Amino acid sequence: MNTPNFWDDVDNANKVNQELINLKKSVSSYNKLNNNISLIKEVLDTNDEELISEITNELDELTKEINDLELSSLLNGKYDSLNCFLEIHPGAGGTEACDWASMLYRMYTRFLDSNDYKYEVIDFENGEEAGIKSVTILIKGFYPYGYLKGETGVHRLVRISPFDSNARRHTSFASVMVTPEFDNSIDIDIKDSDLKIDVYHSSGAGGQSVNTSNSAVRITHIPTKTVVTCQIERSQLKNKEVAMKMLKSKLYQLELSKQEEQLSSVKGDTMDINFGSQIRNYVLEPYRLVKDLRSNYETSNTDKVLDGDIMPIIESVLKNK
């Protein structure tokens, strides 16, 4: 960062700066924990009962710090430090599923806010009657892909439907896909003839996010049937640039899966969005329970989870792997 003209390339400078922040955070956490352990050892060696009684109260916090360090040591995947795209799409269930997708969107954005992640909505499409038809978020911060990659899969909700006048219990599904944001140095050959590019009127979440011009861009890669959309910018050209970057990341991910047989570690398991393929259940009726089907983590505090407190679940999935 001290080299001349470092900030001439803003994109690269921001990438290096984020890497520095991540490294400083890791080193700082380790040094703080190491110092605290050394201090406790010194107190124990004194055999002073009063001092020992005082530090006993700090053991819970120390244990938490050790667990956090253990968790961070699991973020050693090749792409864990990268920014990521998080997509949510409703599955079987119609309006119910669209509403469930909006609940997941709220859960993830609250999680991001409470954990100091920066994010921007790249694409947002409202459901026909309620909820969300699709949403894509770009997430930046401390190892975002490493933490969130385990969210890829189908999420299942069971509840009394607010859209059913007979108050019957309904099951809804939504898929979450987390993809690392690869930089522009990746070598992916995309032929113009393989692309179908559509422009359309933006349909944001409301307020200032609504764009009144036909600047939103949808790109379909015909050979792989991969679709990406972007409507965050007011310029059609900029939206196309962001969409192409997303497309490159997805295609690169597919190529890695073919070459290295790393589909499960890079992209997560591909599943249909329906019954029997879910990674996590959220049951609100007839009882209340959130259970991850991979780590077997469960909690009856469903409101807390849906309000964004999902770090314990994320940790359980990382440790399970």
Alpha-carbon torsion 85, 86, 92, 94, what sign?
negative
Residues of the chain with pLDDT under 70: 183-187, 203-214, 257-277
- pLDDT score, position 245: 83
Q: Tell me the residue type at 224.
A: T
- What are the residue ranges spanned by the domains of the chain? 6-73, 84-180+269-320, 192-260
The pair of structure tokens assigned to 194 is 């393989």
138 Cβ contact partners less than 8 Å away, ≥ 6 residues apart: 83, 84, 85, 119, 120, 122, 181
Rounded-to-integer distance, Cα 137 and Cα 135, Å = 7
- pLDDT score, position 104: 97
Fold of 192-260: Double Stranded RNA Binding Domain (3.30.160)
Fold of 84-180+269-320: Alpha-Beta Plaits (3.30.70)
Give φ, ψ of 175 to 5 degrees: -105, 145
Beta sheet of 195-200, edge-to-edge order: 195-200, 216-221, 226-230
The pair of structure tokens assigned to 94 is 């119609």
- pLDDT score, position 186: 66
Rounded-to-integer distance, Cα 164 and Cα 124, Å = 26
Q: For strand 153-160 and strand 169-180, is the pairing parallel, antiparallel, or unpaired?
A: antiparallel
233 three-class SS: coil
- Count Cα atoms within 13 angstroms, Cβ side, for 77: 22
Rounded-to-integer distance, Cα 198 and Cα 53, Å = 68
- pLDDT score, position 209: 45
- pLDDT score, position 210: 43
Give φ, ψ of 192 to 5 degrees: -60, -35
Tokens 């997805």, residue located: 250
- Write out pLDDT tens, residues 296-317: 999 999 999 999 999 999 999 9
